[in-house]
Amino acid sequence: MKISPFTGGPVVLKHKLETLRFRGVEVQITRYYYKCVDTGHEFTDAKLDDRMMADVKKEYNRIMTGMNPGREGKI
């Protein structure tokens, strides 16, 4: 179980839709983060950050492949 780096107390895994710019293209992803129950502070860890970047790249590739048929795997 994940604990808060702020208080050592419980945290809740949350998510929200977020639009980010990647290589000049706006991509929309579901961003996951933890919220400290005691303080309300939001934070991530390396695992969630890695997932976010993988999701951004996946969505970017999906968008670019749709704009440029035949370019699968070349982005």
CATH classification of the domain holding 31: 3.10.20
Question: Looking at the domain assignment, is residue 42 inside a domain?
Answer: yes
pLDDT for res 75: 44
Contacts 24+ apart (CB under 8 A), 3-6: 4/34, 4/36, 4/37, 4/38, 4/39, 4/41, 5/43, 6/36, 6/38, 6/39, 6/41
Residue 66, pLDDT score: 83
Q: Is residue 34 part of a domain?
A: yes
Spell out the per-residue pLDDT of the chain, length 75, in tens: 799 999 999 999 999 999 999 999 999 999 999 999 999 999 999 999 999 999 999 999 999 888 655 554 444
Give the total number of structural domains in the chain: 1
Asked if the structure places residue 74 within a domain, the reply is no
Cβ atoms 14, 2 nearer than 8 A: no
1 within a domain of the structure (yes/no): no
Global confidence as pTM: 0.80
The pLDDT value recorded for residue 67 is: 67
Q: Does some domain include residue 75? A: no
